């Protein structure tokens, strides 16, 4: 699958057979700052046919707005710590 540029990595790769049409996917990230990595991952999951994509992270930096962007597109974003 074609990659998506994120702030942390130039390209994000995922195997085409990793997700099947109708799968429910949980994206787990260590840190949400701008949300770029989680957004790219979630969008690739949708491209591969995921019917639902949910996002959780250990740490959120809410002042940078990433979790809000993710929530606006994918619904509630659950984080354990906010700084």
Q: What is the pLDDT of residues 58-74, one digit of tens each?
A: 999 999 999 999 999 99
Which tens digit of pLDDT belongs to each residue from 2-58?
555 555 556 788 888 999 999 999 999 999 999 999 999 999 999 999 999 999 999
Crossing angle, helix 66-74 and helix 36-47, to 10 degrees?
20
Identify which of 12, 40, 37, 42 has the alpha carbon closest to the alpha carbon of residue 25.
42
Q: Is the pLDDT score of 1 beyond 70?
A: no
Amino acid 12: pLDDT: 82
Using pLDDT thresholds of 50, 70 and 90, give the confidence band for residue 81. very high
């Amino acid at each position: 699958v074609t990659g998506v540029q994120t702030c942390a990595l130039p390209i994000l790769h995922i195997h085409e057979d990793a997700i099947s049409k109708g799968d429910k996917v949980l994206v787990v990230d260590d840190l949400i700052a701008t949300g770029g990595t989680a957004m790219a991952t979630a969008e690739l999951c949708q491209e591969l046919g995921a019917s639902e994509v949910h996002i959780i992270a250990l740490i959120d930096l809410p002042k940078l707005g990433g979790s809000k962007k993710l929530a606006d597109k994918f619904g509630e974003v659950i984080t354990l710590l906010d700084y």
